Chains A and B, each alone.
Chain A
Amino acid sequence: EPEVTQTPSHQVTQMGQEVILRCVPISNHLYFYWYRQILGQKVEFLVSFYNNEISEKSEIFDDQFSVERPDGSNFTLKIRSTKLEDSAMYFCASSGDTYREQFFGPGTRLTVL
């Protein structure tokens, strides 16, 4: 069964460093998303991406964040200068249709020291 994959599973970084989280969405999906979940809190929407551009972003997704689809399979989230409060699980999701079912990857645990 097709699934979303994410790498790395765990990323440890120093405050102020740049990180890139990678995702391979389900192959025939056209809509891509990033969510995050701080330990013990809700899953929060960050950004949605369709047709090579951002379709919606949350207040969390400030200038320190960017997304890119560098080729036909990968979808990346970059955090330019990490802060302690960026420590969270980051989930990539993809959907075949807008407003429809989103399938989540296993997540990347980001720890900022």
Chain B
Amino acid sequence: QKEVEQNSGPLSVPEGAIASLNCTYSDRGSQSFFWYRQYSGKSPELIMSIYSNGDKEDGRFTAQLNKASQYVSLLIRDSQPSDSATYLCAASYNTDKLIFGTGTRLQVFP
């Protein structure tokens, strides 16, 4: 059973801080990893994709992938109250089917 695991949170950080969100996956055959943001009652919104080991930066967001440790993370710099949402980690394993984690709820307080 292929799994993607996330701490459900909530993760609370003050405005302006760095939020660090983590995800592990069970299958070493996984190839592609995605971070989605989901506001309550809304659909997943793609933030970042990452396919190879190392870091990938896009604005305030940095995704990190470590395939040896089967670990993916998302860093959000200068966190804003508008970043408060559930962050979903997803992986694909040799197909385009996405396996989602349960999500980590992030709360950014002023």
Contact = CB atoms under 8 A, between A and B. Distances in A.
A75 interface: no
B95 A48 contact: yes
Interface string A69-107: 000000000000000000001010001001111111111
A69 to B, nearest CB: 16
Given A48-B95, A95-B96, A102 B46 contact: yes
A3 to B, nearest CB: 10
B97 A42 contact: no
B96 A103 contact: no
Interface string A38-75: 00011111001000000110100000000000000000
B7 to A, nearest CB: 14
B31 interface: yes
A95 B97 CA distance: 11
B43 A99 contact: no
A42 B100 contact: yes
Interface of B is mostly: strand
B54 interface: no
Contacts of A102: 34, 46, 96, 98
Contact of B97 (A41, A48, A91, A101): A48
A42 B101 contact: yes
Given A42-B102, A48-B96, A91 B43 contact: yes
Interface residues of A, number: 25
A104 B102 CA distance: 17
B23 interface: no
Nearest to A89: B43
Nearest to B49: A101
Contacts of B45: 104
Contacts of A45: 97-99
12 contacts: A41-B102, A43-B90, A43-B100, A55-B96, A91-B43, A99-B31, A99-B32, A101-B46, A101-B49, A102-B98, A104-B43, A106-B42
- Of all A-B residue pairs in the complex, the 9 with the closest CB atoms, nearest first, are A43-B100, A104-B43, A45-B97, A107-B43, A98-B96, A104-B44, A42-B100, A106-B43, A101-B49
